Structure formats: structure tokens, C-alpha cells
Chains A and B, each alone.
Chain A
Amino acid sequence: MSFLKVSDLEVEFRVDKNTVKPIEKVSFEMNEGEVLGMVGETGSGKSLTAHAIMGLSSLVGGKIRGSVKFEERELLSLAEKEMQSIRGSQIALIPQNPMTSLDPVYRVGDQIVEGLYKHVKISKRKAKLQVLDLMEKLRIPKPDRVFQQYPHQLSGGLKQRIVIAMGLCTNPRLLIADEPTTALDVTVQAQIMRLFKEMTVDKGIGLFLITHDLGVIAQVCDKVAVMYAGNMVEFGKIETLFNTPRHPYTKALLECIPYIGMKKGTLNAISGSVPSTATYPSGCRYHPRCPHSEPQCENEMPPFINIEEDTQVACHLYQEKKG
């Protein structure tokens, strides 16, 4: 049984009599217990993809099309009520920015328990015990004390662990984490990422990790999807993608990242900037910035195809090779 299969996902909004598609033709597959990373810059559509999978875009006035099959069940055709029972229990989303995910007027422990209540019928006492146990596994120091505290009394790292606890408390099958460590210090980021790996993969939970940080992807994920301006441009196994990136954007992006020991002056930048949703270029959305751009790139959007096992690219360079 396939775990998560997304095909031709797109989201459409109407803005001032124009239709815009902030994400289009997004397709990928994920296996059980795998860590899938989705990487992209601002405006690439990665957060929107996560929300679309959870069926949340429709709440903001967007139409979702395509197919999202979770354990063979088509999520996009479910009614809102059915989706609500899946959200939080089988698929959990850890949103960006823990500072705003926690309600400042409730104790954090109560907030986690509330998440548990909605989906599982157990007594209050049992729920609290489960939550405390989870908090301990997440290495939250003095869990019974923290349980009683309010969000503003906790550090950024602790708040993020609480938000993770909220996501994990119902034992979901799939956990979607949207930029879980962006607002945290680097040393805390390392701890949280390790936690993620322990809590998910070791338990067979699938982790869909969204981030702009390629370093995190390289260390934590099994497979990665690269997004650019609403399209998926490359998808593949970690080793393949980082050692032999195919898409020009992926290559260029990897060359933008400084590392210790890098020779001075060798940092490469990508010229130009990411197009806004209203002004997507025709054909391949990356072509204005691509050193390999040909007339075909401007006229035709390249299809997202398999060029090897578990490697997909959307680029005309690879189409030609196939003949």
C-alpha cells in the first residue's frame, strides 16, 4: 500500500479577475517511515503544498486540484468533516513559528491535552500521563513543571518541543513539519532535528519536512523535492541529488551555500530574483535565470519526468537526452 502519493497537485486563487496558480503540477511519492524533505526559497510554494495536502487551502479561498492519496484514500475528495477527523490524528501539521501556534492564555500542558482529546477518547488522568510521558521522551526537563507553565515563560526551544508534542500526541501516521527550526538558535536546531528523527523514523511515522535549509535536508532526509516558483523542479534520493544535482536551479542553489573551509571569493550567486505569482515567466519558470536557457525553455514548460529510478527532473536539458 502506498503511503502518500501526490499527483499533479495545484492550487488556484482568483485575484482581481485573474487566476493565479501558486503551485502547479506537483507530484511525488513517499513511503512509510521515510523522511521526505521539501526545499525551496520564499515564494516556492512549499508551505502551500503542505496546507493543500491537509486540505487547508480551501479555507483561504483557494481551489485545490489533483490527487492526494494517503494510504490509498483520496483526501481531496473527502468532505471537510472527514478531513477534520484525519487532521490531527492521522496526519499532523507542525506549523511555522511556535510563538504563534501556542495560545498565550492557556497552560501549555492543557493545550497538548486538548489536542489529544479531540481525537482519542480517554480519561483526563490518562491523557495527562500520556502527555507527560511524551514530554519526557522529547527531553523536556521537569515535564510536570513545564506542563503548568504558560507559553511566555518558556524559551524558544521549549516552545517548539511543546508544539512537536502537540503534533505527536495522537500518534499520527504522517507528520508534516513546516520550517520547525527556523526561529531557533543553531545549537537548539541540532537538538530538535535529532529529536524529530528519533520520534518519527524510529517509530515508523512518516516525516514530511519543509525547510529552506539544504543542510538540514542533507542530514535528516531520505528523499528531497526541490521547489521553484510553484513547480517541483527536481526530486530524488539524497545522495543522488546532493552529489549529482540535475536541475540547473538545484546546482546553482547548492553553490550559493557557504561552508567552513570554502575558498574566499568562490561563492556563486544566482542572478535575478524569484518571480512573484503574478508574473511567472512563460514556459519554464526558471529560464530567465538559467545559463542553459534555450528558446524551447521560454515556450514550453518542461514536464516532470523520471530520468532514473527515484529521480525526477523538470528540465528540457534532460528531455533532449531521452530523444
Chain B
Amino acid sequence: MGKFVEIKDLSVSFKVSGGLFLRTIGTIQAVNNVSFSIDKGEILGVVGESGCGKSTLARLILRLIESNSGSVTIDGTDIFKMSKKEMRQQRRHMQMVFQDPYSAMDPRYTIFRSLVEPFKIQNVPLPKAEKRKKIDEILELVGLSTEQGFAYPHELSGGQKQRADIARALVLSPQFIILDEPTAALDVSVQAQIIKLLEGLRERLNLTFLFISHDLSLVSYFCDRVIVMYLGRIVEIISADLIGNTPYHPYTKTLIDSIFMTTPGKRNQIPVVEGEVPSPFNLPAGCVFASRCHYVKSICREQNPALEKTVENGQVACHFPLN
């Protein structure tokens, strides 16, 4: 049996124009040859810093941006080959929860109205009472009261808005949900509430998640497997319980070392990592991480390492993987 979601060779580049006559002055390879798969019911995490392409990846998978190459197969169907009409139907099965709860809903619509909209757009032939019932159920599922359903977005707190956004993603009963930094803008205690909510939803509704975040601790806790991205490429795919002890890629190790632990026993060990993520313009040849890697050798600057399997069935793209 094949995987539930198969991503093959996704790539996209953006032309950047500037100057007096809006000439193209450069290209940014936002996502570069990304391939991976997701099992049904799995929570796959994608972690990386700004510019790594994780948000762009999400939009490529949902075909909100068109990819330059590759394919996305969901439950056996290659959605890149679909016509516009078929794609509209397909969207029922794959939804997204967005990063910014503050502008994720039309400010002029009540939450209720925003939740009814997916039904309208997809022309779901349910009688009004049925729709109302389904929405009430979903509101309860995400922990919002009917009263909050009738509120406008600006009347809700950040956590409540995020719940509303999750509710909207659930309306069409999708099987696959991509969450793009759903808790980045929230306080840590609210984040915990949302994560618990997501844990519960995954159980109840047998959902498959692609969870995008910059927070490695959160991703390693919540997800089953983790993809680490850097400058548009996957550098490592690893099981969440192995991350702490045996990361293979130096960048993964860097991310781990950058975490500030809440255990004061490790005090005064503020992690040292040099440099910043280089500009995505005119990427140097060779490994994308070469400019900042502690273990860099000359081959790293010349040849881009391919993704290879690790002992534990993960993957790593490095000429000299750790361990």
C-alpha cells in the first residue's frame, strides 16, 4: 500500500525584479527538489528558520502556488494533474490552518459566517439545519461556545481566533491538514491548549497533519517524524524521538544547540553558532549549509550532498553526517 501523501521533487523559484525598468535582477530558489511522504494518521513536522521555504512548501502542496516541477499525490491521486474544476473538489480533502490568527478571518464576518462559507463555496448540498448542526458540533469540538460563534474576530482572544481557524479547516471534513506555525503568535500557555486540542482532534477524527514550525522543541514533542529544511532544501528527515540524541545533520545539531533549556543545571552554556542564514540570492554551489558548518571540508563547497537513508530509516543530506 502506498503512502497517504507522496511529495516528489517539488521546486519553485521566484523572480525578483528591481531597478528602473523592473528587470529581473535575480531568482530565489525558494523550494529545491523536495521529496518526502506521509503515512495516514501521521503527524509530520517541518522545522527551519526564516527563508528555509517551509511556508512556501505548504502552499505548493495545496497548489496555492504552482510548482515548477514535481508531483503531489494524495491517496493515490496526483493532484498536480487535475484540472481547475477537479482541483476545486479536491480542496475539500486538504485544508490549511494559518499562521496569523489576527487576520485569518474576514473581519466583517462573524465566526459563524466564516464557518458556513466553505459549505457555500463547495456547493455542499446540505439543508440549512444540517449545516447549522455541523457547525455547532465543530465549535464544540474546538472548544468554542455558540456565543463565541456569533462574535466578530476582533472580539476574540488570540487563542480563540486560532481555534476558530482550526474549526474552519475542519468544516469540510478533510483528511489532511497542513498547519503553518499555528501557535507562533500565541502565549506559551495558550499554545499548550491548542496543541492539546490538536492532539485530541487527531485521535477523534483520524487526521493526518503536516505541522510547520520554527520551534524544534515543540515539533519534536508533537510530531512523529521531523523534516529539517534549510534554504529550500531538506537536510534531514528523522524520527522525533531520535532528534535529541542522534541528529545526523550539523544544522539539526545547530538548531538543537540553539535551544534555551528551562533546566538551569545547564546554565551559562549559551549556545554559540556563528553567522546568519545567507541571502537566498545566488546560492553558492555545494552544500547549502557549508558557509556556517563547523565540520565543513572542501568537497562540501563543491558538491551538493544528496539525501541518503540512515540506519533508522531517516534521511540526511551531508557528506560527513554526525554519528
Q: Residues of A with Cβ closer than 8 Å to B?
A: 41-42, 155-158, 185-191, 193-194, 197, 212-216, 218-220, 238-239, 242-243, 252-254, 256-262, 264-265, 267-271, 273-274
Asked whether A260 lies within 8 Å of B220 as measured between CB atoms, the reply is yes
Asked whether A190 lies within 8 Å of B217 as measured between CB atoms, the reply is no
Cβ of B276 < 8 Å from any Cβ of A?
yes
CB within 8 Å for A194 and B270 given contacts A218-B262, A239-B264, A259-B217: yes
Q: How far is the CB of A212 from chain B (nearest CB, A)?
A: 7
Asked whether A215 lies within 8 Å of B261 as measured between CB atoms, the reply is yes
- Smallest CB-CB A-B distances: 4 pairs: A215-B260, A258-B221, A269-B192, A256-B192
Q: How far is the CB of A38 from chain B (nearest CB, A)?
A: 15
CB within 8 Å for A260 and B244 given contacts A185-B49, A212-B188: yes
Query: Can you list 27 contacts pairing A with B, beta carbon distance less than 8 Å?
Result: A41-B187, A42-B187, A185-B50, A186-B216, A187-B276, A188-B276, A190-B271, A190-B272, A191-B274, A212-B187, A213-B260, A218-B260, A219-B267, A239-B264, A242-B264, A256-B189, A257-B188, A258-B195, A258-B221, A259-B217, A260-B217, A261-B244, A262-B217, A269-B192, A269-B196, A270-B192, A273-B190
Q: How far is the CB of A33 from chain B (nearest CB, A)?
A: 15
Residues of A within 8 A of B192 (CB): 256-257, 267-270
Closest to B255 in A: A186
Q: Interface size class for chain B? A: 35 or more
Q: How far is the CB of A244 from chain B (nearest CB, A)?
A: 11
Q: Give Cα A185 to B277, complex, Å.
A: 9
Asked whether A273 lies within 8 Å of B255 as measured between CB atoms, the reply is no
Q: How far is the CB of A54 from chain B (nearest CB, A)?
A: 25
Closest to A141 in B: B275
The digit string for B190-201, where 1 denotes a CB below 8 A from any CB of A, is 111101100100
**A-facing residues in B142-193 (Cβ within 8 Å):** 157-159, 187-193
Asked whether B188 lies within 8 Å of A256 as measured between CB atoms, the reply is yes
Please pick, from B221, B222, B260, B266, the residue contacting A216 in the complex, using a CB distance under 8 A: B260
Residues of B within 8 A of A215 (CB): 259-262
Q: How far is the CB of B75 from chain A (nearest CB, A)?
A: 26
Residues of A within 8 A of B103 (CB): none
Cβ of B257 < 8 Å from any Cβ of A?
yes
Residues of A within 8 A of B50 (CB): 156, 185
Asked whether A190 lies within 8 Å of B258 as measured between CB atoms, the reply is yes
Cβ of B268 < 8 Å from any Cβ of A?
yes
Residues of A within 8 A of B269 (CB): 219
Cβ of B254 < 8 Å from any Cβ of A?
yes
Residues of A within 8 A of B266 (CB): 219
Q: Give Cα A213 to B262, complex, Å.
A: 9
Q: How far is the CB of B269 from chain A (nearest CB, A)?
A: 7
Q: How far is the CB of A122 from chain B (nearest CB, A)?
A: 32
CB within 8 Å for A257 and B262 given contacts A42-B187, A186-B216, A186-B255: yes
Closest to A274 in B: B187
Cβ of B263 < 8 Å from any Cβ of A?
yes
Q: Give Cα A264 to B202, complex, Å.
A: 13
Cβ of B293 < 8 Å from any Cβ of A?
no
Please pick, from A186, A214, A256, the residue contacting B258 in the complex, using a CB distance under 8 A: A186
Please pick, from A189, A239, A270, the residue contacting B189 in the complex, using a CB distance under 8 A: A270
Q: Give Cα A252 to B50, complex, Å.
A: 31
Q: Give Cα A187 to B270, complex, Å.
A: 11
Q: Give Cα A168 to B158, complex, Å.
A: 35
Q: Give Cα A213 to B214, complex, Å.
A: 14
Asked whether B187 lies within 8 Å of A186 as measured between CB atoms, the reply is no
Closest to A264 in B: B221
Please pick, from A42, A190, A273, the residue contacting B270 in the complex, using a CB distance under 8 A: A190
Q: Give Cα A242 to B272, complex, Å.
A: 23
Q: How far is the CB of A41 from chain B (nearest CB, A)?
A: 4
